Amino acid sequence: MEYGFMDKSERLRVLNTLTERLANGTTADAGGIMRVPMSDFTSSQLFAQEQEVFFRNTPLCMGLSSDLPEPSTYWSDNATGIPILMVRDGEGNFRAYANACRHRGSKVVPEGRGSRSRFACPFHAWTYGLDGKLLKVYKEGHFGNVSNRNLGLIALPSAELHGTLWVRPTCGDPIDEDECLSGLQDDLAHWNLSDHPVVGKQVIDTRMNWKLVVDSYGEIYHLNVLHAKTAAKEALGNLQTLDTFDKNLRMVVANQKLNLVRLFMPRMDVWPYRQITSTMYFFYPNVIMLVDTFGVDLLRVFPLEDSPTKSRTIHSWYIHPNVQKHFKTHGMSYEDRLRTFRDAVAKEDYAMGEDVQLNADVGIPSEIFLGRNEGALQHFHNAHRSGIGRDLLPVEDA
C-alpha cells in the first residue's frame, strides 16, 4: 500500500475528472437545483428531533486514532453535550464510557487528555480502571459494601475504524462499521490517518444553526467571490469532484498548482496528490474531514447551548509527519497555521453564515436554493432529512 494517499486507481480517477473539468470549464453537476425551507435553520421542533437522533443516538466520529496515541491514554470530551470519557486501555483497545460517577453522578475526569491507568472521582475518590471497573470505594467500611453491585462506568458503544474513533453518546447497539463509513473504508485505510499526530485544537463558536456550519464546507462556488483575497489565491473555485457513499460523501477540489503540474508533469500517476488537491469528507451527521498537504483537519460541529441558532465547531489538526519535520526544522509555529485556518473560516465563511441566520430568524426569504454545482449541500440536507424520517427534497430541473 502506498503511504498517505488514496488508492492509486481512485486517485487517478479523481485527477482525471478534475483536469477534464478544468479543461472543459465544467464541474460536478447534481442534475438540478433544490429548495430548502429557511425554517430548517430555526425550528425548535426540528431541532429537538435532531438533538435526539443525531447527537444522542447516532455514532459520531469523535477524532482520529492519534487522539489516544498509546495504551493507557484518555480523552474526556463534552462536545456532544454528554460528558464522554474515551480511553485506550492497557491492551491498546479503544473504549468509551459515560463520564458519570456511579456514586453521586459527578464527572469522574475533567475535560482534557493525558496518560493514566486509573481515574479517581474528584468528589469522594471512588476509583475506576481503564476497563471501567470500580476498583476502590473510599472508606468502604463507612460507606457500605457495594463491591458486588457492578458499579463500573457505563460503557458506550465505540469503535476504532481505519484510524477514526466513533462513539454513540448513549447506550445502544454496537457500532456498525458499514453504517459509519459506508464504503469509505478503503480511502481511510490508504491515508494512514493514525500516523498523523494531533498538534492543535481550537473551538469556534458561532450564532448560526449547526447545519449552516456544515454547509460552509460543502461548496466552493463561493471561493472566487467570498475568498477573492484569501483562499482563491491558493485553490481553484467552482471545480470539484463529488462522490456519495450512502449518507457520507467525498468532494475533491484542486489548488492552483494543478495548473502547473499538468503542464510540466506528463505522468499523472506521479503527481503530488496531496499538494495539488484538498479532499473533503462528510461523515454523517456532523463531521467534516479535510486531507491536504498539511495533514488532516477534523471539524466536528455541534449545536451550542441547546439552541437551533448557535453552534460550536471543534477543529483538530493532525499534522502530516513530513510536514511536522518541516515545521520543526524551520522553527514554524503550529499556532500560526491554526490562526490562519481560523481566520479564513470565522471571518469569511462563518460571518456569511451568521448573516444568513439573521435572515432565517425572521423567515426571509422563506426558502433558499442549492445549485447544480452545490451537490454536496443537496446531499447533506437530504441525508439529515432521511436520518429523521422527513420527506426528501426533490431535485428540480433548472
Bond prior to 303 in cis (omega within 30° of 0): no
Task: For the segment 363-392, give every residue that binds ligand FES (CB under 6 A).
Answer: none
Q: Which of 104, 116, 326, 339 binds ligand FES (CB under 6 A)?
A: 104
Does 103 help bind ligand FES (rule: CB under 6 A)?
yes
The answer to whether residue 107 forms part of the interface with ligand FES (CB under 6 A) is no
Using CB under 6 A as the binding rule, whether residue 345 contacts ligand FES is answered as no
Judged by beta carbon, residue 104 or residue 133, the one nearer ligand FES is: 104
Minimum distance of ligand FES from residue 358's CB (angstroms) = 43
CA dihedral 372, 377, 382, 383 (to 10 degrees): 140
At residue 211, φ and ψ (nearest 5 deg) are -75, -30
Region from 37-45, 105-113, 144-152, 342-350 binding Fe ion, contact rule CB under 5 A: 342-350
The number of C-alpha atoms within 13 Å of 14 and in the hemisphere containing its C-beta is 26
Among the listed residues 77, 89, 349, 374, the single contact to Fe ion using CB under 5 A: 349
Looking at beta carbons only, is 102 or 337 nearer to ligand FES? 102
Nearer Cβ to ligand FES (41/126): 126
Q: Which is nearer to ligand FES, 82 or 395 (CB)?
A: 82
CB of 136 to ligand FES, least distance (A): 10
Select 49 or 123, whichever has its Cβ closest to ligand FES: 123
Rounded to a whole number of angstroms, the minimum distance from the CB of residue 238 to Fe ion is: 12
- Choose from Fe ion, ligand FES, none: what does 171 bind? Cβ within 5-8 Å by kind: none
Residue 190 binds which entry of Fe ion, ligand FES, none, CB below 5-8 Å type-dependent:
none
Q: How far apart are CA 169 and CA 85, in angstroms?
A: 10
Nearer to Fe ion, 349 or 374 (CB): 349
**Residue range at the interface with ligand FES (CB under 6 A); choices 6-14, 100-108, 128-136, 301-309:** 100-108
Integer Cα distance of 26 and 210 in angstroms: 30
Q: HSE (CB half, 13 Å, CA atoms) of 345? A: 24
Residues 201-240 touching Fe ion, rule: CB under 5 A, are none
The nearer residue to Fe ion, 226 or 395, going by C-beta atoms, is 226
Taking the complex as a whole, the smallest distance from the CB of residue 122 to ligand FES amounts, in Å, to: 7
Written as one string, the DSSP assignment of 370-396 is E-TT-HHHHHHHHHHHHHTTPPPPPPB
- 288: exposed, middle or buried (C-beta count within 10 Å: 0-12, 13-18, 19+)? buried
Rounded CA gap, 40 and 172, in Å?
28
Name residue 129's beta-bridge partners.
118
Closest distance to Fe ion from the beta carbon of 216 (Å): 6
The answer to whether residue 106 forms part of the interface with ligand FES (CB under 6 A) is yes
Residue 388 touches which of Fe ion, ligand FES, none (Cβ within 5-8 Å per kind): none
Q: Give the per-residue SS3 of 273-324.
A: HHHHEEEEEEECCCEEEEEECCEEEEEEEEEECCEEEEEEEEEEEEECHHHH
Which of the listed partners (Fe ion, ligand FES, none) does 284 bind, with a CB threshold of 5 to 8 Å by partner kind?
none
Q: Between residue 309 and residue 338, which ones bind ligand FES under the rule CB under 6 A?
A: none
For residue 289, give every residue at least 6 positions away whose Cβ sits within 8 Å of its Cβ, in sequence order, or none.
61, 280, 281, 283, 296, 297, 298, 299
Q: What are the C-alpha distances in Å from 385 to residues 54, 287, 382, 389?
A: 11, 16, 5, 6
Q: Which positions from 121 through 160 interact with ligand FES, judged by CB under 6 A?
A: 121, 123-126
Give the alpha-carbon dihedral of 357, 359, 365, 371, to 10 degrees.
-40
Question: Residue 35's closest CA among 333, 291, 392, 292?
Answer: 392
Cell readout for 239 is 471545480
Cβ at position 138, least distance to ligand FES in Å: 7
Binding residues with ligand FES: total (CB under 6 A):
9
Q: Which residue, 127 or 202, has its beta carbon nearer to ligand FES?
A: 127
Which residues neighbour 172 within 8 Å (Cβ) at sequence distance 6 or greater? Answer: 57, 157
Q: Which amino acid makes up residue 273?
A: Y
349 binds, among ligand FES, Fe ion, none (CB under 5 to 8 A by kind): Fe ion
Whole-angstrom Cα distance, residue 334 to residue 339?
Answer: 9
The residues that touch ligand FES, with contacts defined as CB under 6 A, are 101, 103-104, 106, 121, 123-126
